[in-house]
A and B are shown apart, each in its own frame.
Chain A
Amino acid sequence: MKTSNLLDKQLAHDILEVALSTGGDFAEIFVENTKKSNIVLVSGKTDTLQSGIDYGIGIRIFKGFGAVYVYTNVMERENLLKVAKEAAAAVRGTNNGAIKVLDFTEKTFAEKHPAKILPGTKSKKEIVDVLRNISDISLKYDPLVTQTRGAYMDVDQEVLIANSEGLWATDKRVLSRVFATAVASKGNEKQTGSRDIAGKFGQEILEILDPKYLAEESARIAVTMVNADMCPSGRMPVVIDNGFGGVILHEALGHSLEATGVAKGASEFCGKLNEVVADKKVTVIDDATIENAWGSFNIDDEGSMGRKNVLIENGVLKSYLVDRLNGLQMGMESTGSSRRESYKFAPTSRMSNTYFACGTDTQDDIISSIEYGLYAKKMGGGSVQPATGEFNFAVLEGYIIEKGKIARPVRGASLIGKGSKVLADIDMVSDNLEMDAGVCGSLSGSVPTNCGQPMIRVKEITVGGRD
């Protein structure tokens, strides 16, 4: 999709030239003009109604394996050249201006994720009515549901990426998400449940979404959990269900495969390419090309085409997620994985839509294989320390499995462990792959990513609970 007027070509050329004037190896400009809209209802009443424009430029200069990054939203020519000059001053080069800025060639590509209805087309009143309907259904689901929260957001981002090698790429990225949360109360105890729909598409989301499903699923989880006992702690086999269950993969493996950590020797998967790192049932893919998926993109934030990267194939590590700068240090090409939240962040290697490929075990086989363990039906967010692979995440909907049967719901559970260990301990993989949206926060800010997997069994994980 074409966008124009973000920056004059001559000015872009001049900025890049100033940026390289002190001996930088490569310079890049990222300009964005992004409209965002955000609507939140609490128990059917409007709570947040906000919209605005994010607008600015980031200039990046490479020197060796290091980079200088500056950003501003004072967009006058004079200031931009001044900022570029300040950035260049931080490049401690000797070979002044040796690298020339090449003439721009416009990058062309097909729009793989078209938005049918652009943000701003439908009235905000219509959006409020959809959220209110979801809230009404949730509140009627069960007397224990005392509160709801419904959120709608859309993003309409226009970007320009230009670099000293002559790249001139523009793109328009449209994202939408609707999030339903229910709160169930019983005495002093409150538990929440949520369900969402999200994609790299426009306001057609309002037509695609199923209000009854969002409302009832969020209410069902809240009510189940408010009636649950605390989860026992200890080491036990754990079944992690499909969809957002893939957050285990995202946290325990994905982040450790990002070049950001790998290039600096700060990942437990350094130097393990083509080695066996998981059971042969495990295949892991990061795919930015899935049509209209939340984590997809046409081009990454360095202007490289998004692509499908096989990270682990039948247990063997095949690829990292590589951005241009870290790729230099690692001697590897970009994998089209460089992303950033906005012009306020230098881009770096990030995930897109990351998932375990399907296996052949059935869900019944997996559950019935366990004498005593935890069934994590819905996972929450988590975090990981890439250098050691230690991770931690919350179980939002969990059940104890006893004698091969799902016995009772439990709340307050968390899973902790080390990525490489868990990966090696996955011994059953089912065939019901699904993906769910998340927002991943890391060095280059918060970016939309999908987590996905079929149901899997992990031999043993430490479950943190309260009893």
Chain B
Amino acid sequence: MDIKLFKNALFEKAKAYGFSDCEIYYNNSKSLRVAVFQKEIAQYNNSDVSGVSFRGHINGKIGYSYSEKIDLDAIDFLLKEAAEHASINDGDDEDLNPDAKVLEFKDNSKFEASPETLINYALDMEKHGYEADERIKNIPMSITNTSEMETYIANSYGMELRQEGSYAMAMLALNAMEESQVKVNYELFLDKNFDNFNPEEHAKQGVAEVVKQLGATIPNSTKSKIILKNKAASDLFMVYMQNFYAETVHKGLSLLKDKIGENVANSMITIKDVAKHEKALLELNFDSEGTIVEDKNIIENGVLKGYLYNMKSAKKDSVKSSGNGFKASFKAPVATAPANFFINPSDKSFDELLKELGTGFIIDNLSGLHAGANPISGDFSLLAGGFYVENGEIKNAVEQITIAGNFYELLKDVLAIGSDLKFAPPQAGGSIGMPSMIIDNINIAGK
């Protein structure tokens, strides 16, 4: 049913249940995804899914609930569950946003891509993939995907906010083979507009990435300088992101506690979090609590300037929310997440980074992040792949190595930053963008 009608009915009944204030958070997402395998459509997924969550205060305590059923029958469930949750809630209180603003942010880069366009693109990309190199023995997936989303927040204080967004994705999974060695690469392409994609270019890029991994050997264990490629850096930061949240600091789980104003990183590092960035896929003008996302420096020339705040953690520190009170989905409670969080790139090309590295390794993929990286202590030990570099030249690919180190030490051990800032796919809230970086003192475990 229409979300505004649903909201009115829900708010009306909430009063009768004894809620003193309340909020509805609505999300709709539409996605079209095509996967091609051997010139056939292997998967075609089309979705249109909505959900709402409710929260409100009753007897001074907040309670949550959610539903994917958006009809009048769901209202009693939502209110009854939220009321029971409020009645046993002895955690910290959280306020609803009393700011009665009404704003609407349209999607500025909206595009049209028909199912036919997506299918043909995936077919083309697969074809060019096989043509680009005879060592490509299998392309398990050639995928195109478009996503559209809408978020709507309203509360009983009169706030009403809407934000739209969309982006396109293409992915080519490639298996290359030479002398019984198999190498796999998933090349992911993201853009605000599907029209910017070119299947032949994507295929060539993907193929180049996988064939250069052939001939990989296991190097001897050593301690070395590495170039951490942009994508791998984003993956690593994803695990440690939570340490920048005031919420984590308050729980005593972040080692960045009491470090504001101190050097926590090499002085060449500046980390920002902003509502929009030309390279980021989504604009995030407000967070899930309805706070306007503020552009800020988290680390400025190596010095920690502040944390990411939601309303609850901001209240604790008597500051304003930084607009980072995002929910992972409509089902999740308000937590903290970045909007568009990135390390400021320099103007150094990748070739310049290679020269500066001299001898060491390029690490361009990391796996097992949910297992091999301890988000609290900062220790990580991760399966990695990449290349051995000697005197600024790539010698050969390396495989089956682990790289080990500590995130906090890594921030200080950055020796150079590249220009190739790249944002990862959006997660809860926004996304993380990183340039490639040279890092010192990484333990490489191989033979």
Contacts and interface: CB of A to CB of B under 8 A. Distances in A.
Interface of A: 33, 42, 45-56, 63-74, 83, 86-87, 89-90, 92, 123-125, 128, 146-147, 183, 185, 188-192, 230, 233-235, 264-266, 344, 346, 380-383, 385, 387-388, 390-394, 411-414, 416-418, 462-467
A346 B140 contact: no
Contacts of A147: 251-253
Interface in B84-114: 84-85, 87-91
B224 interface: no
Given A48-B333, A234-B445, A466-B404, A393 B138 contact: no
Interface string B418-447: 000000000000000000000000010111
B260 interface: no
B41 A90 contact: yes
B6 to A, nearest CB: 13
A410 to B, nearest CB: 12
B50 interface: yes
B43 A346 contact: yes
B52 to A, nearest CB: 9
B372 A414 contact: yes
A380 B400 contact: no
B41 A92 contact: yes
5 contacts: A49-B89, A83-B48, A86-B46, A90-B46, A387-B184
B64 A72 contact: no
A229 to B, nearest CB: 12
B16 interface: no
B368 A388 contact: no
Contacts of A123: 84
B43 A344 contact: no
Interface stretch (B198-206, B278-286, B289-297, B379-387): B379-387
Contacts of A64: 40
B77 interface: yes
Given A51-B85, A52-B53, A124-B85, A46 B44 contact: no
Interface in B234-276: 251-253, 255
Contact of A70 (B42, B45, B251, B402): B45
A45 B87 CA distance: 13
B162 interface: no
B117 interface: no
Interface in B28-85: 37, 40-51, 53, 63-70, 74, 77, 81, 84-85
Query: Which residue, A65, A416, A467, has most C-beta atoms of chain B within 10 A?
Result: A416
Nearest to B47: A71
B41 A462 contact: no
Nearest to A64: B40
Contacts of B47: 70-72, 344
B92 to A, nearest CB: 8
Contacts of B90: 45-46
A124 B86 CA distance: 11
Given A53-B67, A92-B41, A128-B88, 6 more contacts: A52-B81, A69-B45, A83-B46, A86-B46, A183-B253, A390-B383
Interface residues of B, number: 69
Residue from B53, B68, B77, B382 with most neighbouring chain A CB atoms (10 Å): B68
B376 interface: yes
A49 B85 contact: yes
B175 A464 contact: no
Contacts of B368: 382-383, 391-394, 414, 416
Given A45-B91, A381-B370, A412-B381, A190 B46 contact: no
B115 interface: yes
Contact of B88 (A46, A69, A383): A46
B44 A412 contact: no
Given A146-B252, A266-B140, A466 B40 contact: no
Nearest to A264: B140
Given A50-B64, A414-B381, A233 B404 contact: yes
Contacts of B404: 233, 412, 464-466
Contacts of B5: none
A266 B43 CA distance: 17
Contacts of B84: 123-124
Interface in B350-388: 367-368, 370-372, 374, 376-377, 379, 381-383
B182 A387 contact: yes
A47 B446 CA distance: 42
Contacts of B367: 383, 385, 390, 392
